[in-house]
Chains A and B, each alone.
Chain A
Amino acid sequence: MNNNTTPSASVLRLLRWFCPEALYESIEGDLREQFEIDLSVRGKGYAKRRLLWNVLRFFHPEIVLRNRFSITLINTIMIGNYVKVTWRNIQKRKVYSIINAVGLSIGIAFCMLIFLFIRDEQSFDQFHTNKNNIYRIDVHEYAYWDVNVEEKDRNDSHAYMQLGLKQVLKEEAPMVEYATRYSNSFKGIVKYDDKVFTEDLTYVDADFFNMFSFKLISGNREKLFATNSEVAITEGVAHKYFGDENPIGKTMQIDSEGEKSFLVSGIIETPPSNSSINFKILLPIENRPYYEKQLDRWGSFSTPTFVQLKAGSDLTAFNYNLEKITEKHMGDRLKNRRKEGNVPDNIDIFHYGYTALPDIHLKKEIDWEKVSDPQYSFILGGIALLILLIACINYISLALTSSASRRKEVGVRKVLGAFRKQLIFQFGFESLVLACISLIIGFGLAILFLPFFNEFTDKAIPISNENLLILLGSGVMITLLVGLLAGSYPSLVLSGFKPVLVLKNSYGTKVNTAFTKPLVVLQFALSAFLIISSVIMYKQMYFITTKNLGYNSDQVLVIPTQTGWNNEAEKVVARFRTRMQHDGDVVAVSGTSSSFNRGWSKNGYKIDGINRSAFVYAVDPYYVPLLNLELESGRNFDVNIPSDTNAVVVNEALVKDMGWTDPLNEYLNYNEDSVGPGARVIGVLKDYHYRSLEAPIDPMFLSMDKEFVGHLATMLVKVSSRNIPETIEKLTKAWIALYPDKPFDYTFMDQDVARQYESHQRWMSIVGLSTGFAILISCLGLFGLAGINAVNRTKEIGIRKVMGAELSNIFVLMNKQFIWLSIIAFIIAIPFSWYVMRQWLTKFEFRIDMDWTLLAGSILCGVVIALLTVSYHSLKAAHTNPAETLKYE
């Protein structure tokens, strides 16, 4: 009953929600009074309706916005003043403003670039209309035959399929709409008129054009590759061969294991830089070398295959189909494998899988051109955030330590009626203005650095309008974040000053730097982390590039014989040697199946019932002397001993692997000859690094058995160090005289070898560069702090000098604390960098030791940098005439 005669609580709550606190009580009272009158006169129903109506009537701008409105009004009035004060502050303290702006803008520029990088990584293959239905078929295999692989590395995944799989998929998996093979590991000699070049060739099926969204500039998508003698080329290739002519309908000669004529029937867009599928010249797959031979070889994995499933297909059903295909076509083979390798039943020896097209780029487990480790994004992002953090710390510590000069301002503002909120707003506004200035500089820096950044990260991010917009957008986001992050703490501290204490000057003239010390230590620790990391990276890279690899790759030209995989190759090497051997500038000519960092081949074989494997190179007798390989025992191949074709020269690792004590009386039966004892071992080479230093030296042998081991697809020419350009010209002329229809391509072996470490070199540059910036920014901060410190202690120094302190005493006094700070920072940073760098070094089989000298070196280097930075101010303070500083007292 009582409930019904009082106003309902919810209506009053509504009133309380919108009504300003100051007015609430009297309004509620009036409403209650009205309610009581209505209740007695007209009854409770009317009273309640009237109350609700009255409350709603109070939802009036002059009630709701009262008080709140007045504050916003004041703020808009004050903004003009804030702008003025901000500008005056920037001008008054130019050095600090520059330090802050430089630091922040570098940080912002870094972040913007990294954002572009991460976006580019995410954008891979997103431009295909059918991207959600296209899958790359993968294979997950158990490496049962290779004994030199550790158990944990046995699960091998790759994207190379049997050549016949595509047809089977189309016929036996009903959800497959299109399927294409994609084979781009071949090179060929391409000719039109007098233009002859070696080009990368990509072999695909006709379905390729239906699946992928590369624009066809001319040609008919439906009819493309209707015959096997058509070719589609990119604009670049069209321009290279045909200039301004229309290429459509012209005939090109393409030689890859045999010359054929192809009719140009399509011009296709060059794949963008964020495409996992790249090509210049597309040919029907039927023209691929050894196509017929390999078509029903289910043991030969050579060709990536893509399928497009019908929209809305069930992936479990597709998986089931893949299993059925495995069973039908590979069943017996897999059983044999299991038996042969003694693989237990619980190990999955082989299965097909698939990867959605947009996932290919970041799936680092499966090797693919341009495949990338998502970790890179994290590392780069981390570095950018570190630098931004260091810059923010600069801002915070400088704002705090220079707050002395703002104290009076805060006091006066408060006395004149400023709320704390307004002061927070004011200082936040100031940091935002500074961040905006930095944004503009940072934006310019980002555009300036983009080409270098592309080079470092091996990307091709263009300066397009879209990217500029992204840069600006991300920049504004970062700026707001930084403005808030860096501005919030100082503004809270500054706005908290008590006006009475400030104006009575009880804080003194000294600035308390205690709270900025942890920030400086943190900042310096971050820089120290980068310093130690880059020193270690530099040492390791120096070690790698200067390590004695066991062979001499200087002045060795690597020239592909351009013959394909047949005994023409040997003839090319022999003819070229005959022609050039009397030239004084040519030291030696040799041939090999593959040169360093230009591919390798590994043979697996069974000897005495044990599975073994070794790397193998086909060579000629000139190979060992040309590379200055050292023989441990025995002899090199000899041209004059015919039986040497069935002999091998092995390395020490192989001797060890076989457990031979007298290797020169052994035979290596690598071709599993059931009649004879196999190849005779005639020499043992000292171990040399035929692979990168990331890999161990595994068993390896050299052979002259061309049929079994391989042909001399690569010619090595060692030239004298005198006038190399002229020699190369002579070689080119000789080549053109011998093979006018084949291009003369060459590289230098030492460059090939160095290229193995390209990605490490790049990372070293990135870390080095960021270290440079981090040091720069934190030194700027340190410089600023030292300056404030010197100002704080002006009087103290004056007194000390009057009392007879030496210049050196004062110098030490001023620098001592900064040296301590930097040493503490290093002590904090050492364990982190130690851990991270150990992780990095495990990638190398051959690596430097991380010892204390390295760390001590880094610490020394860091401390010296810190000392140099702060010395300017200490010297200045020490040289000041005490009379100047004390006369005001």
Chain B
Amino acid sequence: MNKSYLGEFEELILTIVGILQEEAYGNAIVTEIKHRVDRDVNLSAVHVTLYRLEDKGYVKSSMGGATNSRGGRRKRIFTITNAGIAVLRAMKESRTELWKLIPQLKISYGQG
């Protein structure tokens, strides 16, 4: 149980890596988060989290090809692993389970 626990920020990053597919690298993730959830995150925080996820085995990384921008520096492309997808799915499911346990009464009361 403990091992598969993800923090909120880790979960966010992992999800974004899943969304971006082949284009998931540091800057792209920062931009994507800004674009989708309108949240300013720091590049270093993204990197640190990515490495942590890599240690846990939820993402893997490889160096992409060189480009003309970025002073010719290669990108480190992160891809989500099966374990990563599994942990995301497990978290989503467990949350849905919990969500179901909230009494529906309250909602209907509000609606009423």
Interface residues of A (CB under 8 A from B): 6-7, 23, 25-34, 36, 54, 57-58, 60, 62-63, 66
Contacts and interface: CB of A to CB of B under 8 A. Distances in A.
Contacts of A63: 44, 47-48, 51
Given A29-B70, A33-B70, 4 more contacts: A26-B63, A30-B75, A58-B43, A63-B47
Nearest to A62: B48
Interface in B38-97: 42-45, 47-48, 51-52, 63, 69-71, 73-76
Contacts of B69: 32-33, 36
14 contacts: A25-B76, A26-B76, A29-B70, A29-B71, A29-B73, A29-B74, A29-B75, A30-B25, A30-B43, A33-B70, A34-B27, A34-B43, A36-B69, A63-B51
B23 to A, nearest CB: 13
Nearest to B78: A26
Contacts of A25: 63, 73-74, 76
B43 A54 contact: yes
B47 to A, nearest CB: 6
Contact of A60 (B30, B48, B63, B70): B48
Contacts, number: 66
A692 B51 CA distance: 85
A6 B73 CA distance: 13
A62 B51 CA distance: 8
A54 B44 CA distance: 7
Nearest to B42: A57
Given A26-B25, A26-B63, A30-B27, A58 B44 contact: yes
Nearest to B52: A62
B73 to A, nearest CB: 3
7 closest A-B pairs by CB: A29-B73, A26-B76, A30-B26, A57-B44, A29-B70, A58-B44, A32-B70
Nearest to A24: B73
B44 A26 contact: no
Given A25-B63, A26-B75, A33 B27 contact: yes
Contacts of A7: 71
Contacts of B73: 25-26, 28-29, 32
A27 B70 CA distance: 10
Interface residues of B, number: 20
A6, A26, A58, A60 pick with most chain B CB within 10 angstroms: A26
Contacts of A36: 69-70
Contacts of B30: 34
Contacts of B45: 57
Contacts of A30: 25-27, 43, 47, 70, 75
Given A25-B63, A66-B51, A60 B44 contact: yes
Contacts of A58: 43-44, 47
A23 B70 CA distance: 15
Contacts of B43: 30-31, 34, 54, 57-58
Contacts of B71: 6-7, 28-29, 32
A491 B42 CA distance: 47
Contacts of A27: 26, 47
Contacts of A33: 27, 69-70
A23 B50 CA distance: 12
A772 B100 CA distance: 90
A33, A60, A63, A66 pick with most chain B CB within 10 angstroms: A33
A400 to B, nearest CB: 41
B51 to A, nearest CB: 6
Nearest to B73: A29
B20 to A, nearest CB: 14
B49 to A, nearest CB: 9
A31 B42 CA distance: 11
A15 to B, nearest CB: 11
A770 B28 CA distance: 76
Contacts of A32: 69-71, 73
A36 B35 CA distance: 19
A27, A30, A34 pick with most chain B CB within 10 angstroms: A30
Contacts of B63: 25-26
Given A30-B43, A32-B73, A57-B42, A23 B51 contact: yes
Contacts of B70: 29-30, 32-33, 36
A29 B48 CA distance: 15
Contacts of B51: 23, 62-63, 66
A752 B45 CA distance: 89
Nearest to B44: A57
Contacts of B76: 23, 25-26, 29
A7 B69 CA distance: 13
A364 to B, nearest CB: 69
